[in-house]
Amino acid sequence: MDVIDQKITDEYAIYNGDCGEILPKMEPNKIHFSIYSPPFSDLYNYTSSSSDLSNCKDYNQFFEHYEYIVKEIYRVTMPGRLTAVHCMDVPLKGDKEFIDFPGDIIRLHEKIGFYYVGRRSIWKEPLRMAIRTRAKGLMHRQITKDSSLCNVAGADVLLTFRKNGKNEIPVEHPTGFKTYAGENQPPEKLKQQYKDWKDPKTNKLSHYIWQRYASSVWMDIRINHVLEYRAARDSEEEKHVCPLQLDVIERGVVLWTNRGETVLTPFMGVGSEVCGALLNDRKGIGIELKPSYYRQAIKNIKRIESEKSQRVLFD
């Protein structure tokens, strides 16, 4: 399948097409960081295309196809740099049984040659999850009937992997962090006192931020802080469309890239990762198979570009 459509600028390149065909055409060892959510096998069908990983006949075939994508991500990633995969346990038979999808993703990346270097769990509020998913095991009434059938509001996880080799371009933060992505912002007094601080050893604002970014559980990711996606739905059946939160993307981009470096997403969706890269002064490359998602990504990127230009104008 050829590229259906594309838009290439000095700041980003986005493609409407199959990442399995586009990734092999990219140069090796050029990508500084990648971040994405893979299609959840056996959970949703995003398109009817045979190229769509969500259309595999079973879980094992999904990983056969996904392995090809991970190999290409490994090839295009610079030595010593990272890739981040956003995923979750996959429910089976309603909410009565789960597959360790993150664990299988870890084993696949290790098979390809990546080093597994971390897992950050993204907390989700149980009542909101119960309402959204209608999972009986999360309902309070289940404990009154038979709590042995109760369940857990499973966290999303962000898995990080490092490509073998030496990183020749350190990711540097000479004075530490200045901005925080999340609900629980640093106290205003702290932000004002240390906004122009030069000594990273005594920069209490940066220490505040780093202690939360380094945590294995991210408690304050704003679940609804996402790009517009509703217009990308082809039908009301697509209620599963849910872009990756911008807080998660910003944390990954800021932690693992320098300004001006390139962020890749092979499953672009409505453009969240590309927009996250642009908002933080990085470049983005995105690939998306579904035309309606691609069209919405163009709209979202245009809006982000407009917001950035206005920010520069009035700063």
pTM for the structure as a whole: 0.90
Domain ranges within the chain, ordered by starting residue: 5-123+152-173+216-314
Distance CA 41, CA 315 (A): 45
Q: Would you state the pLDDT for residue 236? A: 43
Go through 272-296 and write b for each residue having 16 or more CB atoms within 10 A of its CB, e for each that does not. Answer: bbbbbbbbbebbbbbbbbbebbbbb
| Regions of the chain where pLDDT drops below 50 | 43, 232, 235-240, 313-315
Cβ contacts of residue 211 below 8 Å, gap of 6+? Answer: none
Measured CA to CA, the distance from residue 271 to residue 274 in angstroms comes to 5
DSSP code string of 66-112:
HHHHHHHHHHHEEEEEEEEEEE-PEEETTTTEEE-HHHHHHHHHHHH
DSSP annotation of 230 reads: G
Using CA atoms of 258, 262, 264, 269 in order, give the dihedral in degrees to the nearest 10.
90
CB 288 within 8 A of CB 223: no
Per-residue confidence (pLDDT) for residue 137, from 0 to 100: 85
The Cβ of residue 81 has, within 10 Å, a number of other Cβ atoms equal to: 22
CATH value of 5-123+152-173+216-314 in 3.40.50.1820, 3.30.230.10, 3.40.50.150, 1.50.10.10: 3.40.50.150
* Contact criterion met (CB below 8 Å) for 35 and 252: yes
Residue 261's identity, in one-letter code, is: E
At 313 the pLDDT is 43
- What's the confidence (pLDDT) of residue 296? 95
What three-state secondary structure class fits 59?
Answer: helix
Q: How far apart, in whole angstroms, are the C-alpha atoms of residue 185 and residue 245?
A: 16
- pLDDT at residue 56, as a whole number: 73
SS3 call for 126? helix
CA–CA distance, 91 with 88 (Å, rounded to integer): 9
Q: Can you tell me the distance from the alpha carbon of 70 to that of 91, in angstroms, rounded to the nearest whole number?
A: 23
